[in-house]
Amino acid sequence: MTDKRSSGAVVLVGCGRLGSAILEGWLATETVAPADLIVLTPSEKPAAEAARAVGAAINPPHGALGRARAVVLAVKPAKWRDALEPVLGGLPPEAVIVSVMAGVSADGIAALAARPVARVMPTTGVAQARGVAALWSADAAARETARRLFGAIADVVDLDREALMDAATAVAGSAPAFIHAFVQALARAGEGQGLSPEAAGRLARGALRSAGAGADTGEPLDALIARIASPGGTTRAGLDAMQATGDLDRAAEAAVEAAVQRAKTISG
C-alpha cells in the first residue's frame, strides 16, 4: 500500500545507511511525492542530493515543517533527543513520529514529542523495495501511517507487543549482516577445499542471490531446502553434517541473543 495522497509532508530525520535506503525506496516506488519530502541531514548525502534533484527539500527553513504529517526518525539511538527536540516546535500537533531506531521505546519518544509514535524495524533492502519491516504502535492511526510509508518498500510484519521489537531487530534489521557473515564463512570453507578467494567469493555471493530468489517465492524454507537437498546427494550430506554439530543453531541463538541484549541498552 503506497501513500501517494498529498496530505502533508514526510520529514526524514537522518540520512545515513538506513535513512538513505528508505529515501531511495520511497523515490523508486513513488511512495512519497518528492515535493512532499523534507530531509534533515547535518552533512551532504548522495541520496539526499538525488532527492533534491527531483524536488525534495533538504534542510529547509523550520517553517516548512508546519505541513508535516509524519516524521521518520533515522538517527543513532544515542542521538535521537538532540535530533528530535529542535524539530518539534515546528510540527503540527497531529504529526506522527515513526521511529526506525533500535532499542528506543515508543513511550520515551512520546514523552518528549507529545505525539503518536509508531516503531518500524526495517532492513536496508527497502532501498530496492525488497525490505522486510516489523511494525508496532499502540496508536491505530500511527500504525496505519507507518504501514503506508513502508508497505511499498518492505514486507510489513505486524507485532502485537512492543517488547517483541528487540527480537525483530535481531531477526530482521541485523540479520542480513549475520547471513553475509555466514556466506563469508562458506567462501572461506570453499577456499579450504582449493578454490581461489576470487572464485569462492563469487560462488558464495551467487549462492546468496539464489537463496534470496528462493525466499522471494514465499515458499516455506523447509520446501526450499528440500528442493535442493535430494536424498543421498551432496547437499543432504552437507546439511546433515551441519546439523550434527549443532553449531549453526548455537551461532544463530548467540547472535540473536546478543543483538537483543544490545538493543535493551543502546539508547544511552
Distance separating alpha carbons of residues 127 and 252, to the nearest angstrom: 26
The candidate with the shortest Cα–Cα distance to 154, out of 185, 114, 121, is 121
Q: Which is nearer to ligand NAP, 14 or 190 (CB)?
A: 14
Distance separating alpha carbons of residues 256 and 235, to the nearest angstrom: 26
User: Which residues contribute to the site for ligand NAP (CB under 6 A)?
Assistant: 13-19, 40-43, 74-77, 79, 82-83, 100-102, 121-122, 124, 173
CB of 229 to ligand NAP, least distance (A): 31
Q: Which is nearer to ligand NAP, 79 or 188 (CB)?
A: 79
CB of 91 to ligand NAP, least distance (A): 14
Q: Which is nearer to ligand NAP, 45 or 148 (CB)?
A: 45
Distance separating alpha carbons of residues 99 and 133, to the nearest angstrom: 12
Question: Cα angle at 108 between 107 and 114, to 5 degrees?
Answer: 75
Distance separating alpha carbons of residues 261 and 170, to the nearest angstrom: 10
Distance separating alpha carbons of residues 38 and 96, to the nearest angstrom: 15
Q: Which is nearer to ligand NAP, 33 or 74 (CB)?
A: 74
CB of 40 to ligand NAP, least distance (A): 5
CB of 173 to ligand NAP, least distance (A): 3
CB of 182 to ligand NAP, least distance (A): 17
The single-letter code of the amino acid at 175 is A
Q: Which is nearer to ligand NAP, 32 or 72 (CB)?
A: 72
The single-letter code of the amino acid at 72 is V
Closest chain position to ligand NAP (CB): 16
